[in-house]
Chain A
Amino acid sequence: GESVGLHLPTLSVQEGDNSIINCAYSNSASDYFIWYKQESGKGPQFIIDIRSNMDKRQGQRVTVLLNKTVKHLSLQIAATQPGDSAVYFCAESIEGADGLTFGKGTHLIIQP
């Protein structure tokens, strides 16, 4: 299940199940969105991105869905594996602006 702690929400899923990680972004002007995976002590690793002119984009075992109406982004990971354990962040940016604004992050824990 999902729980919200003092800082990072945690999502616990069974190995082999699908994971859905959600993100609410803040700026309606944002037009580019990225999901990152961060393992302990490492920098963020790019997973998948999507532009605001799209609602859905698929990669290898991952799918990103964008709902601009409610400013919501989700990352779906199919057949979750132990190596998927990490913290996942969504990030947003605006065309013409620099830098990324990161969401709070979700700690994905894989149960054997």
Chain B
Amino acid sequence: GAVVSQHPSRVICKSGTSVKIECRSLDFQATTMFWYRQFPKQSLMLMATSNEGSKATYEQGVEKDKFLINHASLTLSTLTVTSAHPEDSSFYICSARGVDRDYGYTFGSGTRLTVV
């Protein structure tokens, strides 16, 4: 089946530094990747949608200069949290979709970011 690998699974960084999270589709080509954010005991909130080779589309209220998304290939998307602050601490989850929606949405295992 479709597998999405997300790394790192957890990261602790100092306030003001940047952190990169990788999302890879291992056995299919992901034309579209999605990035979600989840606070404790809350639901997943879509942050942005990225299509391979195009600029990401950000949801309202998500700062594109803070959350840099790159989808340079059909199997890799990265989310970089720039100048991280403690309020950016959260669980970040990526999802990948193949050629069309019928291929389904496959989720990564998530990244727990803690900014100290």
| Residues in A whose Cβ lies below 8 Å from that of B95 | 100
| Residues in B whose Cβ lies below 8 Å from that of A49 | 104
Partner-contacting stretch, out of A12-20, A40-48, A57-65, A75-83 = A40-48
Asked if residues A8 and B42 are in contact (CB atoms below 8 Å), the reply is yes
| Residues in A whose Cβ lies below 8 Å from that of B6 | 43
Give the interface residue-count category, chain B.
20 to 34
| Residues in B whose Cβ lies below 8 Å from that of A99 | 34, 46, 49
| Residues in B whose Cβ lies below 8 Å from that of A6 | 41
Give the interface residue-count category, chain A.
20 to 34
| Residues in B whose Cβ lies below 8 Å from that of A5 | 41
Roughly how many angstroms separate A101 CA and B42 CA in the complex, as a whole number?
13
| Residues in A whose Cβ lies below 8 Å from that of B101 | 32, 93, 95
| Residues in A whose Cβ lies below 8 Å from that of B44 | 44, 89, 100, 102
How far in angstroms is the closest Cβ of chain B from A26? 12
Q: Out of A7, A89, A95, A103, which one reaches B41, CB within 8 Å?
A: A7
| Residues in A whose Cβ lies below 8 Å from that of B93 | 43-44
Residue of A nearest to B111 (CB): A43
How far in angstroms is the closest Cβ of chain B from A41? 7
Roughly how many angstroms separate A43 CA and B44 CA in the complex, as a whole number?
10
How far in angstroms is the closest Cβ of chain A from B112? 7
Residue of A nearest to B47 (CB): A99
Asked if residues A41 and B46 are in contact (CB atoms below 8 Å), the reply is no
Mark out the residues of chain A between 5 and 43 whose CB falls within 8 Å of any chain B CB in the assembled complex: 5-8, 32, 34, 36, 41-43
Interface residues of B (CB under 8 A from A): 4, 6, 32, 34, 36, 41-46, 49, 57, 91, 93, 95, 97, 101, 104-110, 112
